[in-house]
Amino acid sequence: MLGEFELIRKITKSLKLPSSVLIGPGDDCAVVRLCNKKRARQASSLHLLTTDMLIEGKHFRRDWMTSREIGEKAMRVNLSDIAAMGGKPLFALVSVGLPKSFRVSEAKELFLGLRKAAEKSRTAIVGGDTNRADRLTVNVAIVGEAGRFLTRSGAKVGDAIYVTGTLGDSVLGLAALRKKKKKGYEFFIRKHFCPPDRLSVGLKLAANRQVHSLIDLSDGLAGDLEHLLKASRVGADIWRDKIPSSPGFIRKAEGLGLDPEKLQLTGGEDYELLFTASAHVKIPPKINGASVTRIGSILPGKSGNSLKGLTGFRHF
């Protein structure tokens, strides 16, 4: 990890937080009590806060994506953090830094993309800030609500580990773009541009008391699993041959000279959900349209092959 990133993690973790903060920095969202304390024990009376910044050249390239796609992705990666706690999004704030070369029509498309993703999830864009920048920069902050919520620190020894959807598609799409091989990779490129909407899945998981922990896969399976295991102080046995792939994924990865398994373990930006639940509970193979696959078990302490040492996803 880069020095200042680790440092900031330490500083923010050391902040003195009031009792109204149930979960502070370090999870996908903060969880806070904004309403009357008595009512806060009822469903939907806790609130989730999250923010994510996307920067041109670091998170996206303007010659690869349309402005509308950039807007849509900026909103969706933030919504993914709400899904990762089992919450429901309510309000969004959007700050943008627009380069001088950005045309008025592009600014409009960017906002239409942001609005499209917001409206689909019934999130109201209530405010923002527009600035000049050298590189296109889009920051979204979301306020959501939750009754029961899930964190990355609740995994229990004996839990089964599941993921939604398929892994590695987004990073394969990115690799195809880098190698200028769009033809035949349209599906994967689309997955890279448009993270899945797992909000309804997250809500359903949070409502199930046998589900113990939840995280979204933004940094890659190995990295995000490591975050969950560290926060839950447990180990894991991962069944590598069970990691779900899209049809044609292995062939298409090998077609670019890439190791499909490595893409799935360390490639980032899947924005699928990783969760753990009591092994004796039946988890359906599909939840609200998303396939669900068991990929391993939670073990005690630091035991198991937790994919440790595999490098997580790094942006460009």
Using CB under 8 A as the binding rule, whether residue 35 contacts its own copies is answered as yes
β-partners of residue 21 are 32
Residue 132, token pair as written in the block: 């000049």
Window 140-179: contact mask with its own copies (x via CB under 8 A): -x-x-x----------------------------------
Residue 148 Cα distances to 24, 46, 160, 165, angstroms? 16, 9, 20, 23
Nearer to its own copies, 110 or 201 (CB): 110
Q: How many CB atoms lie within 10 A of CB 278?
A: 15
Does residue 131 sit in helix, strand or coil?
A: strand
The pair of three-digit structure tokens given for residue 61, joined into one six-digit string = 């390239």
Q: Is 238 helix (H, G, I), strand (E, B) or coil?
A: strand
Contact residue for its own copies among 75, 85, 117, 125 (CB under 8 A): 125
Closer by beta carbon to its own copies, 90 or else 277: 90
Residues 6+ apart with CB under 8 A from 7: none
Q: Give just the sign of the alpha carbon dihedral 36, 40, 43, 48.
A: positive
Residue 137 near its own copies by CB under 8 A:
yes
| Bridge partners for 277 per DSSP | 160, 211
Residues 36 to 55 in contact with its own copies, rule: CB under 8 A: 36, 39, 45, 47, 49-53, 55
Q: 40 or 256, CB closer to its own copies?
A: 40
Token pair, residue 94, equals 């959007």
**C-alpha closest to that of 258 among 178, 187, 315, 314:** 178
Q: Which DSSP letter does residue 284 get? A: P
Residues contacting residue 239 through CB under 8 Å, at least 6 positions apart:
294, 295, 296
Pick the closer one to its own copies by CB: 52 or 159.
52
CA of residue 185 relative to chain centroid, distance: 22
Q: Report the alpha-carbon distance of residue 112 to residue 71 in Å, rounded.
A: 7
Binding mask 58-97 for its own copies (x = CB under 8 A): xx------------------------------xx-xxxxx
Q: Is 231 in the site for its own copies (CB under 8 A)?
A: no
- CB 249 → its own copies: shortest distance, Å? 28
> How many amino acids of this chain bind its own copies (CB under 8 A)?
67
Integer distance in angstroms from the first to the last C-alpha of the chain? 15
Q: Hey, which residues between 91 and 120 contact its own copies (CB under 8 A)?
A: 91, 93-98, 102-104, 106-108, 111-112, 115
Stretch of residues binding its own copies (CB under 8 A), selected from 122-130, 161-169, 240-248, 275-283: 122-130
CB of 217 to its own copies, least distance (A): 16
Which residue among 32, 65, 117, 214 contacts its own copies (CB under 8 A)?
A: 32
Residue closer to its own copies, measured from CB, 139 or 153: 139
State the residues that interact with its own copies by CB under 8 A: 3-5, 7-8, 11-12, 15, 17-18, 20-21, 24-25, 29-30, 32, 34-36, 39, 45, 47, 49-53, 55, 57-59, 90-91, 93-98, 102-104, 106-108, 111-112, 115, 124-135, 137, 139, 141, 143, 145, 315
